[in-house]
A and B are shown apart, each in its own frame.
Chain A
Amino acid sequence: MNTKDHPAPSSLRRSLISFCDRVAAICHVIAAIAIGVMLSLVVIQVVFRYVLNTPIGWTQEISVFSLMLAVMAGMAVAVWRAEHFKVSVIADCLPSVIGRVLGFISHLITITFLSVVVWFSYQLALRAMWQVSPTTGIPVGYVQFFLTGGCLVAAFLLTVKTVLRHDTISDQNAVIAEQVS
Chain B
Amino acid sequence: MKFNFPLFVVTALLISLNAYAEDHALKSGVYEQLKLAVSSSGEVTGYYADSMGDNASQTCIFTLHGSRQSVGEATISAHSAQDYPGKLSGTDSGVMLTLPQGQQQPGCMNLLPPDVATGIEFTRGLETQWQTLAQAAAEKVYLHKSPAADGGKKVWIIKNDVVGIIAKKENWSQVQFVNDNGKSTIGWVETSQLKTLTAAVR
Report if A and B associate in a common complex.
no
A positions within 8 Å CB-CB of B: none
